[in-house]
Amino acid sequence: MTSFRYAGYNIRFRTPSILKKYVEVKSWDNGYIVVMADYDGMGITEEYIDLVPILQNLYINPKTFLKNIQTVKIGNYEQ
């Protein structure tokens, strides 16, 4: 699972079981994230995450939710 935390929200979504960790955030563009991800058996690969459809499926207005986010960083959080 991947978790995106912001403004009191913890939005989690499924990721492949072979994902070991995210290595680097390359870019952020209003809900579209490009990251480098380390996969078991594949190594480090560029990955793309689009938060807009995830937010829409949760009935969260993406325009309102994303408007104040300037940067995204990788963090390790305990459940």
**Chain segment 3-46, per-residue pLDDT in tens:** 999 989 999 989 999 999 999 999 999 999 999 999 999 999 99
| Among candidate residues 48, 66, 47, the one with its CA nearest the CA of residue 56 | 66
Q: How confident is the model at residue 77 (pLDDT cuts 50, 70, 90)?
A: low
Indicate whether this model's pTM tops 0.75.
yes
The DSSP bridge pattern shows strands 2-6 and 9-13 to be antiparallel
Q: Are 6 and 12 in contact (CB under 8 A)?
A: no
Helix runs in the chain, H state only: 51-57, 62-66
DSSP H or E stretch at residue 49: strand 43-50
Q: Where are the domains of the chain?
A: 2-66
Residue 77 CA neighbour count, 13 Å, CB half: 12
